[in-house]
Chains A and B, each alone.
Chain A
Amino acid sequence: METNDLMIEAVNLSRTFGNKKAVIDMSFSVPRGEIFGLLGPNGAGKTTTIRMLTGQIDPTAGHARVAGCDVVKERAMLKQRIGVVFEDQNLYERLSARYNLAFSCWLYGLPKRRVDEVLELVHLRDRAKEPIRTFSNGMKQRVMIARALLHKPPVLFLDEPARGLDPIAAREVRQTIDRLRQEGMTILLTTHLMEEADQLCQRVGFIINGRLVANDTPRNLKLSHGQRALVVTLDSVGDVTHNGTLQEVTLNMDDPYDQSRLAQWMAQEKVRAVHSREATLEDVFIEVAGIRPA
């Protein structure tokens, strides 16, 4: 892959706070138009990584480039090329959605029509004049996404974008994110929702105790780390628990005993159906990290 196509490139990025090492030798890259997910438990170093990549704090070692800008030396240019949706809903609650977005327009020196454009994008134009405090969590999240998109940044950082949202609002947010990727935006998101990462991300990285311990596509991770299993539907057989006349049993494809059992049932013509069962990202995370995600 050409270096020019890399929109995010972190090389041996480290950050310490006093004696605490928050991020250790983290290296990864995200090409243009990709959604990269950073997964990990609370306190693993996800937010510190985002804060370094968005120029909020300096790394203590290593370096990073985002949208072609060095995150330390070219901070002013970097700010023009990134959008950030924060974990906390940090909007001006007493002001209207329109005023919140207009404020960001003033900061970036953008024309006022951008407010209407992004409000249209997140389907909030009809509620634009109402104070943010009257909005639901989902609506607030959409306003935050709209704010991050005002200046049309090529790279978007999303910190737990669906946190605290009901399933419908979360799906709307995910649809918006996917639409942005289709439009060519590069997105780095952190989440603790494995299913969300699986649906949205082209690649994911697992952070444990400040270290990036895995970094690949969800499919490769599941194939390389997950258990190969089959779900077999059988007519009644002696060594399987009964449930009416049909039984379902999960077999480990790498277990010789399960392999012989399957062969035996096939020979006896007891097998009605066979389905492969893929490992989930959560299974992979548990295996890689040895812990359950937060």
Chain B
Amino acid sequence: MHMRTILAIARKDALDVLLNKSTLTLLIMPIILSVLFVVVTDIFGSHKTEILVYNPGNSAVVQVVSGAFSDPQIVSASSPADVASAFGPDGSHKSSPYAVGLVIPANFDAALRQGGHPQMSLYINGDDVNMQQRQLLQSAIMNYSRVVANPSPPASINMATINPPAPTTIGQDLGTLYITTALLVSFMVSTSLVGSLLVEEKEKKTLRMLMVSPASFGDVVLGKLLVGVGYQLLLSLVVMVIEGGFMGQVPLVLFFVLCGACFSLSLGLLLGSIFQSSSAVGGVAGMVSIIYIIPGIFVGPLLQASQGNMAVQLIKILPSYYMADGIYNALVNKTVVSNALLDAIVILGCTAILLLASVWTLRRQASVVAAI
């Protein structure tokens, strides 16, 4: 194995990918999909956050609360009872136009300055406000209290949540799922891309030329892996920028993106080494794409909801599940070291097996005159 020949092949392919209309289209596809996800999220996810407030003392805490939302609309209530009736008791289920309700005592700010512990009521509609936003609200109110005075505890919040989100609600982290799915789609594209790069060497008989050059089959495979990883990382970064994916544990996200890229590219290389035509690779890559899509759907909350379901548990056989799991957990900041280690070992182990299998397949085909 020679670095010089690996780099030569990668350099040649890097340009060839851009000059080839079909591979260029493949590269652009995940970007288009990401934009589509963003548009869909914007259409279905964007609406005014109505906040019902009883604030007889005109406390500035209302501005702090409304600042936690991108498009807030404050509605004034005439009494605490209005707010209470708009939401209902804690844990109840009720349709409400309001996302947040606030009942702020008339002397809230003054009581804080005097070192008192004024109590405000905070109503949350779980349909509109997720767990993270709820925590953010609490933290914002506490911070406000500290700014006004510095008591300990500064204020007490009596919180009630209606339509409380079940721990397994699907769609709670829709944005995170979109990012995970968009990344998985970009991996899917890489499988097809690098497979077609290798199979084209057979179709155009250029692999024969490489066979009599100093390049070994290992060099050919690794050269294509290298150029694939380069494009995949670039693609993933673009997708993450579009989807706002730089969240959670970013270095870990990038690590799992790299692992995922290596796995999907190795799978593509195996397909490219097995088949003799681009159409065959494209067809099989299309069928194989299901191994990316299913874990993309079931990773995270849906998987938790389906614990015990045999069919869903079977998904864990797929290496791509560990890819999705690693990325998702890193994005939502829930990575557990042992889990991340398992994910990485499974992905990298499968990658090594796939790479060895593709080199072996190419060598075997080369021993038959008509094969390559």
Residues on A lying within 8 angstroms of B by beta carbon are: 17, 22, 47-48, 51, 54-58, 76, 79-80, 82, 84, 86, 88, 90-95, 99, 103-104, 106-109, 147
B12 touches A103 (CB 8 A): yes
In the complex, A126→B59 CA distance in Å? 80
- Checking B8, B19, B369 against A17 with a beta-carbon cut-off of 8 angstroms, the contacting residue is B369
Binds A, one of B157-165, B185-193, B207-215, B240-248: B207-215
Contact status A57-B369, CB under 8 Å: yes
A-B CB contact pairs (8 Å), 9 listed: A55-B212, A56-B211, A82-B212, A90-B208, A95-B16, A95-B19, A103-B8, A107-B5, A107-B215
The dominant DSSP class at the B interface is helix
Contact across chains for A88 and B212 when beta carbons are under 8 A apart: no
Give the chain A neighbours of B43 by CB distance below 8 A: none
Contact of A108 among B20, B213, B367 (CB under 8 A): B213
CA distance A108 to B2 in the complex (A): 11
CB distance from A70 to the nearest CB of B (A): 16
A57, B215: Cβ atoms closer than 8 Å: no
The 10 closest A-B pairs by CB, nearest first: A106-B8, A90-B205, A94-B19, A88-B205, A103-B12, A107-B213, A84-B212, A90-B206, A107-B8, A54-B212
Cβ contacts under 8 Å, B367 to chain A: 57-58
Report which B residues bind A (CB closer than 8 A).
Answer: 4-5, 7-9, 11-12, 15-16, 19-20, 204-206, 208-215, 366-369
B206 touching A107, Cβ below 8 Å: no
Taking a contact as CB atoms under 8 Å apart, the answer to whether B212 and A92 are in contact is no
The secondary-structure label for the interface of chain A is mixed
- The reply to whether B16 and A104 contact each other, CB–CB distance below 8 Å, is no
In contact, A86 and B4 (Cβ under 8 angstroms): no
Q: Roughly how many angstroms separate A90 CA and B205 CA in the complex, as a whole number? A: 5
The answer to whether A48 and B12 have CB atoms under 8 Å apart is: no
Residues of A within 8 A of B12 (CB): 92, 95, 99, 103, 106
- Contact, CB under 8 Å: B11 / A92: no
- Residues of B close to A91: CB separation below 8 A: 204, 206
| Inter-chain contacts of B11 with A (CB < 8 A) | 103, 106
Add 12 more A-B contacts to A86-B205, A108-B213 (CB < 8 A): A54-B212, A56-B212, A58-B367, A84-B212, A90-B205, A91-B204, A94-B19, A106-B7, A106-B11, A107-B4, A107-B8, A147-B209
Q: Are B15 and A99 in contact (CB under 8 A)?
A: yes
When the two chains form the complex, which single residue of A22, A47, A95, A104 contacts B213, counting CB atoms closer than 8 Å?
A104
Q: Are B204 and A90 in contact (CB under 8 A)?
A: yes
Known contacts A90-B206, A93-B204; is-contact A79 B213 (Cβ 8 Å) = yes
Of all chain A residues, the one with the shortest Cβ separation from B211 is: A56
A208 and B366 alpha carbons, distance in the complex (Å): 24
Chain A residue with the shortest CB-CB distance to B368: A17
Q: Report A-chain residues with C-beta under 8 Å of the C-beta of B20.
A: 94
Contact B214 A76 (CB under 8 A): yes
Closest chain A residue to B215, Cβ basis? A107
In the bound complex, CA of A127 to CA of B9 (Å):
24
Closest beta carbon of chain B to A82's beta carbon, Å = 7
B370 to chain A, nearest CB (A): 8
Give, as a whole number of angstroms, the nearest-CB distance from A159 to chain B. 10
Contacts of B204 in A (CB 8 A): 90-93
Give CA–CA (A17, B370) in the complex, Å.
Answer: 10
CB distance from A143 to the nearest CB of B (A): 12
Give the nearest-CB partner of B8 in chain A: A106
CB-nearest residue of chain A relative to B11?
Answer: A106
Instruction: Tell me which residues across on chain A come within 8 A of B213, comparing CB atoms.
Output: 79, 104, 107-108
Give the docked Cα–Cα distance between A7 and B291 (Å).
54
**Which residues of B have CB within 8 Å of A79?**
212-214
Q: Which residues of B contact A106 (CB under 8 A)?
A: 4-5, 7-8, 11-12
B366/A86 in contact, CB under 8 A: no
Chain B residues, Cβ within 8 Å of A47: 369
Q: Judge whether A107 and B214 touch: CB under 8 Å.
A: yes
Cα distance, A116 to B212, chains bound together (Å): 22
A68-B12 Cα distance, complex, nearest whole Å? 32
Distance between Cα atoms of A258 and B242 in the complex (Å)? 93
Partner of B369, one of A48, A80, A99, A108: A48
